[in-house]
Amino acid sequence: MLDAVNELEREGLAALESAGDAEALEAWRIRFLGTNGRLKALMPMLKDVPRDEKPLVGKRLNEVKAALEGAFEQRRQAVGRPAMSGPAIDVTEPGLEQGLGRRHILSRTIDEITDVFARMGFAIAEGPEVEDEWHNFTALNIPENHPARESTDNFYMGGGRLLRTQTSTVQIRAMEKSPPPIKVIACGRVYRPDTHDATHFSMFHQVEGLYVDRGVSMVDLKTTLFQFARSYFGPEAEVRMRPSFFPFTEPSAEVDMKMQVKGQWQWVELGGCGMVDPNVFRAVGYDPEQWTGFAFGLGIERIAMRRYGIPDIRWLFENDARFLRQF
């Protein structure tokens, strides 16, 4: 009986291919799938099949029935579909507007900051994000027992390597490569295990500035930072400097700017600055008796937040297209 079932499937599929209109399809259905069709005619023969073969034959009958019914439905849809009389696409219909991409707000902010400092005569310097302890700590006058070296404040990678915690590492590399005078800025990512909140993130960007020459003073540093603030934010920008301490600068200060956080205007730290410590000069082979200089490091995310009125630093890293399209 299996031979008869297989032969029915072959004949049925072959006959279906030649059915070219609705009338022929209906005749095929009656012949093979109708109440008195050939498939139904095989059913009574199942009682004559040996008991041990009945499961196999019954299963095969169901498979052939499903195959014929499926093929019939596909053929019916193909025959019933009207022939195309024109192009598949209406070329006269207005198309959908394509959304244009744009640079991320942080990339744009870095370009804008670089442009302002370039007009002040600063060149661009770069350095690696994975640093050694010499450039990240030792050369910056941070001794081995300093709390800033604790594993809780750094992302150590083993083998004396770590993700840099500040772009001050670039100033060391720049001074190692070039004799004074030198005037550079460096923009890049830095990493600290900070708790995320409206003004802190564990990965953020800094712009590092370094100017070394004869006779450079704190007045030059203050003038540079205030000129940058008023050039970038406008003449109404409110900036202040507070005395502070950093191992790599002496004297040192923190730079604050008024910005709106969660709807309230408050002083927010942009970064640190100061006169380069003589020990830093000695580490790179500069004579501190001949050369003086200043350095500063400012948070680029906070600059962008102040410039574009963004109240939460976390929004810059969530990649929400609805937020990014606003800038």
Q: Are residues 25 and 160 in the same domain?
A: no
Please determine, for residue 5, whether its predicted confidence score (pLDDT) is greater than 80: no
Q: Are residues 152 and 286 in the same domain?
A: yes
pTM (2 d.p.): 0.67
Q: Are residues 204 and 241 in the same domain?
A: yes
Residue 69 lies in a domain: yes
Q: Are residues 212 and 160 in the same domain?
A: yes
pLDDT at 157: 94
Residue 96 lies in a domain: no
pLDDT tens for 11-49 read 888 888 888 788 888 888 888 888 788 878 877 777 777
Segment 233-262 shows an average pLDDT of 88
What is the distance in angstroms between the CA of the first residue and the CA of the last residue of the chain?
75
Q: Are residues 142 and 62 in the same domain?
A: no
Q: Measuring CA to CA, which residue among 59, 34, 37 is closest to residue 46?
A: 59
Domain enclosing residue 26, as ranges: 2-80
What is the four-CA torsion angle of 161, 162, 164, 168, rounded to 10 degrees? -40
Q: Are residues 65 and 179 in the same domain?
A: no
Residue 87 lies in a domain: no
Separation of CA 126 from chain center: 21
Residue by residue, DSSP assigns 312-324 as -GGGGGS--HHHH
Lowest mean pLDDT among 163-167, 213-217, 258-262, 298-302: 258-262
| Number of folded domains that form the chain | 2
Residue 41 lies in a domain: yes
Residue 287 lies in a domain: yes
Q: Any idea which residue has 């849809």 for tokens?
A: 77
Residue 12 lies in a domain: yes
State the pairing for strand pair 182-191/123-124.
parallel
Q: Are residues 170 and 112 in the same domain?
A: yes
**CATH number, residue 195:** 3.30.930.10
Rounded alpha-carbon distances, angstroms, from residue 165 to 58, 151, 255? 74, 12, 18
> In the Cβ-directed half-sphere of 87, how many Cα atoms lie within 13 Å?
5
Name the average pLDDT for the chain: 88
Which residues, other chains included, contact 255 with Cβ-Cβ below 8 Å and sequence gap of 6+? 225, 239, 240, 241, 269, 270, 271, 272, 273, 296, 298
d(CA 209, CA 224): 10
Q: Are residues 187 and 279 in the same domain?
A: yes
Q: Are residues 63 and 207 in the same domain?
A: no
Residue 114 lies in a domain: yes
Q: Are residues 56 and 130 in the same domain?
A: no
Residue 243 lies in a domain: yes
Rounded alpha-carbon distances, angstroms, from residue 211 to 129, 169, 217, 299? 22, 15, 10, 18
